[in-house]
């Protein structure tokens, strides 16, 4: 009787351990896939931010607009918010008409909130040339980007910046 009880207990423990092992492997596989998804998202967001940097440096409205969601919002320091593609176009045309940027982004943080939303903090440093005066000066800003996946691509949903000095 004791032998049968020990045998039964051994079988139950073995089955239980096998189940725990299977659950552990499943969780590990899930975590690995989640990590890969997050790394893929971060890489795509970095690419988006550097494409935005390049569009600013090129003063190219046609390169800026596709980087925003259709209802994207640009909130420049000292200016009105531009909401939606039409207002974004007007805002960036105004900016590029008045100045030429030559900046580089430093990405301080990218946080993936979920599969469709993330935010990023950056610092941009470089120069700006004011077309009206010909004066060239240093440019340094802190930026906050709210990012959204739209049609499978990361886009700028909201963007705000302010001067550091």
Question: To 5 degrees, how large is the angle CA 91–CA 95–CA 97?
Answer: 115
**Distance (Å, whole) CA 148 – CA 84:** 14
Given this model, what pLDDT does residue 28 score? 58
Of the pLDDT bands very low, low, confident and very high (cuts 50, 70, 90), residue 156 is very high
Beta pairing class for 99-112 and 82-83: unpaired
| Count helices and strands in the chain by DSSP H and E runs | 3, 6
Q: What is the pLDDT of residues 23-75, one digit of tens each?
A: 766 665 655 555 667 789 999 999 999 999 999 999 999 999 999 999 999 99
Query: What pLDDT is recorded for position 24?
Result: 66
What pLDDT, on a 0 to 100 scale, did the predictor assign at position 165? Answer: 78
- Give tens-digit pLDDT for 94-124: 999 999 999 999 999 999 999 999 999 999 9
* Pairwise CA distance, residues 41 & 45, whole Å: 6
Residue range 10-163 in CATH 3.30.470.20 = no
Tell me how far apart the alpha carbons of residues 28 and 24 are, in angstroms, rounded to a whole number: 6
Q: What is the pLDDT of residue 33?
A: 58
Q: 147 pLDDT band (50/70/90 cuts)?
A: very high
Who contacts 35 (Cβ-Cβ below 8 Å, separation ≥6)?
A: none
């Amino acid at each position: 009787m004791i032998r049968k009880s020990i045998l039964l207990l051994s079988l139950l423990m073995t089955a239980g351990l096998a189940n725990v092992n299977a659950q552990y492997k499943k969780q590990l596989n899930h975590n690995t896939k989640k990590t890969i998804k997050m790394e893929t998202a971060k890489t795509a967001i970095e690419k988006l931010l550097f494409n935005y940097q390049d569009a600013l440096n090129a003063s190219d409205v046609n390169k800026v607009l596709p980087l925003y969601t259709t209802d994207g919002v640009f909130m420049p320091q000292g200016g009105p918010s531009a909401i939606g593609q039409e207002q974004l176009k007007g805002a960036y045309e105004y900016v590029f008409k008045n100045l030429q940027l030559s900046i580089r982004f430093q990405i301080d943080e990218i946080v993936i909130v979920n599969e469709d939303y993330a935010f990023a903090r950056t610092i941009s440093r470089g120069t700006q040339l004011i077309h009206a005066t010909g004066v060239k000066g240093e440019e340094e800003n802190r930026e906050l980007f709210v990012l959204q996946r739209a049609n499978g691509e990361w886009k700028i949903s909201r963007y705000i910046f302010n001067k550091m000095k």
